[in-house]
Chain A
Amino acid sequence: MIERLTYLWPELSLFVATCVVMVLGLSPSKETRRLCAWVSAVALLVAGGLAINAPGDPSALLPNLMPFTKLLVAMVGLVLLMLLAGTVDREYEADILAGRTTFNALRSNRAEFYSFFLFSLTGLMLCTSAESLIWLFLALELTSLPTYIMVTISTRGTRSQEAGVKYFFLGALGAAFFLYGFALIYGGTGATHFSDIAASVRANGMNPILTLGMLISLIGVFFKIAAVPMHFYTPDVYQGAASSVSAFLAFVPKTAGFVAIMTLCAAIGWEYGPHGENLPEAVRLLLWITAALTMTVGNTLALRQRSVKRILAYSSIAHSGYMLVGVIAGPGDTPGAFSTNGLAAVLFYLLCYGFMNVGAFAVLAALRRPDGSEADDLDDIRGLCQTHPVLGWSMVLCALSLLGMPPLLGFMGKLGLFYTAVNAGEIAIIIVLGVNSAIAACYYLRLVVTPYLERPAEADVLAVEPARVVSRPVAAVISAASVVVLVFAIQPLLSASGEAGAVAPPSAAPSADAAVD
Chain B
Amino acid sequence: MTGDVILTFAADAPVGVAPWWVMLIPALPMLGVILCTLMAIAGVRSKLPAWVTVGCLGASFVVAVAMLLNHGEGAAVAKAWDWFHISWGDAQGQQFNAIFGFYIDRLTILWMLFVTGLATLIGLYASEYMSHDVGPGYCRFFVAFNLFVFSMACLVMGANMLMLYLGWEGVGLCSYLLIGYYYKKPSAVAAGKKAFIVNRIGDLGLALGVYLTFVHFGTIEYAELFASDKLAGYLEHASHGDFSHIPLAAQVIPMLLMVGAFGKSAQLPLYVWLPDAMEGPTPVSALIHAATMVTAGVFLIARTYPVFQVSEYALPTVAWIGGLTAFFSATIGMAQFDIKRIMAYSTVSQLGYMFAGLGVLTSVGAAAHVFTHAFFKALLFLCCGAVMHGFAGQLDLRKLSGLWRMKGWGIVSITMLVGCLNLAGFPVITSGFWSKDMIMAEAFVRPGMGPVGWLLLITAGLTAYYTFRVFFRVFVGPQEYHPGDELHDDGHGAEHFHPHAPGWAINSVLVILAVLSFVAIPLVALNHGGWVGEMIHGSTAHYEAHAEAGHHGSVWLAGFNPHAVMYYISAVVGIAGILVAYALHLRGRTSAGEAPAAEAFKNALGPVQRWAEHKWYVDELYDFLFRKPLWVLSQIFRYVDMLLVDGLVNTAGWIPSALGGRLRRGQNGVLQSYAASMAGGLALFVVVVLILASRSG
Chain A contact residues, CB within 8 Å of chain B: 165-166, 169-170, 173-174, 177, 211-212, 215-216, 219-220, 223, 228-230, 232-233, 235-236, 280-282, 285-286, 289-290, 296-297, 299-304, 337, 339, 439, 442, 488-492, 494-495
Contact = CB atoms under 8 A, between A and B. Distances in A.
Interface stretch (B221-229, B475-483, B620-628, B679-687): B679-687
15 contacts: A170-B674, A216-B682, A216-B686, A228-B681, A229-B682, A281-B697, A282-B690, A285-B692, A285-B696, A286-B689, A300-B659, A300-B660, A301-B660, A442-B653, A491-B84
B549 interface: no
A232 B682 contact: no
Contacts of A490: 84
A439 B656 contact: yes
Contact of A286 (B84, B656, B685): B685
A123 B681 CA distance: 27
A419 to B, nearest CB: 8
B688 interface: yes
A300 B663 contact: yes
Contact of B664 (A223, A301, A492): A301
A301 B84 contact: no
B666 interface: yes
Contacts of B671: 165-166, 169-170
Contacts of A286: 685, 689
Contacts of B659: 296, 300
Contacts of A212: 686, 690
A230 B681 contact: yes
A169 B675 contact: yes
A278 B550 CA distance: 70
Contacts of A304: 657, 660-661, 664
Contacts of A302: 660
B162 to A, nearest CB: 12
Contact of B669 (A170, A236, A492): A236
A134 to B, nearest CB: 22
B221 to A, nearest CB: 15
Nearest to B687: A215
Interface in B630-665: 653, 656-657, 659-661, 663-664
B688 A289 contact: yes
Nearest to A297: B663
A491 B686 CA distance: 40
A235 B674 CA distance: 12
Given A174-B678, A281-B693, A491 B82 contact: yes
Given A297-B663, A339-B88, 13 more contacts: A166-B674, A169-B671, A170-B671, A170-B674, A177-B682, A220-B682, A229-B680, A229-B685, A232-B667, A232-B677, A281-B697, A301-B664, A491-B81
Interface string B470-507: 00000000000000000000000000000000000000
Contacts of B697: 281-282
Contacts of B83: 488, 491
B87 interface: yes
Nearest to A436: B656
B656 A303 contact: yes
A289 B691 CA distance: 13
Contact of B87 (A297, A300, A339, A492): A339
Interface core residue of A173, A280, A297, A301 (most chain B CB under 10 Å)? A301
B421 to A, nearest CB: 47
Given A170-B674, A174-B678, A290 B667 contact: no
A300 B661 CA distance: 8
Interface string B78-104: 000111111110000000000010000
A489 B81 contact: yes
A282 B692 CA distance: 8
Interface string B245-273: 00000000000000000000000000000
Contacts of B660: 300-304
Given A166-B671, A173-B678, A300 B657 contact: yes
Contacts of A235: 667
Nearest to B697: A281
A203 to B, nearest CB: 20
A489 B100 CA distance: 10
B86 A339 contact: yes
Contacts of B100: 488
A235 B664 CA distance: 11
Given A281-B697, A286-B685, A290-B685, A173 B657 contact: no
B687 to A, nearest CB: 10
Contacts of B657: 300, 303-304
A320 to B, nearest CB: 15
A235 B663 CA distance: 13
B6 to A, nearest CB: 42
A173 B686 CA distance: 17
Contact of A232 (B86, B678, B692): B678
A229 B689 contact: no
Interface core residue of A211, A229, A235, A290 (most chain B CB under 10 Å)? A229
Given A212-B686, A229-B682, A290-B685, A170 B675 contact: yes
Contacts of B678: 170, 173-174, 177, 223, 229-230, 232
Contacts of B690: 211-212, 215, 282
A412 to B, nearest CB: 11
A517 to B, nearest CB: 32
A303 B660 CA distance: 7
B177 to A, nearest CB: 18
A296 B84 CA distance: 33
A61 B681 CA distance: 30
A294 to B, nearest CB: 11
Nearest to A239: B669
A177 B678 CA distance: 10
A169 B676 CA distance: 12
A335 to B, nearest CB: 15
A299 B653 CA distance: 12
Contacts of B653: 442
Contact of B666 (A232, A339, A489): A232
Which 4 pairs between the two chains have the least Cβ-Cβ distance? A229-B681, A282-B693, A300-B660, A232-B674
Contacts of B689: 215, 282, 285-286, 289
Contacts of A174: 678
B675 A219 contact: no
A494 B84 CA distance: 10
B399 to A, nearest CB: 43
A183 to B, nearest CB: 15
B657 to A, nearest CB: 5
A49 B458 CA distance: 71
Contact of B684 (A165, A229, A488, A494): A229
Contacts of A282: 689-690, 693, 697
Contacts of B674: 166, 170, 232-233
Nearest to A337: B87
B679 A173 contact: yes
Contacts of B87: 337, 339
Nearest to B696: A281
Contacts of A491: 81-85
A282 B82 CA distance: 41
A285 B690 CA distance: 9
Nearest to A290: B685
Nearest to B672: A169
Contacts of A339: 86-88
B81 A301 contact: no
A301 B675 contact: no
Contacts of A220: 682
A301 B660 CA distance: 4
A286 to B, nearest CB: 5
A492 B84 CA distance: 10
Contacts of A173: 675, 678-679
Contacts of A494: 85
Nearest to A282: B693
A280 B697 CA distance: 10
Interface core residue of B100, B678, B692 (most chain A CB under 10 Å)? B678
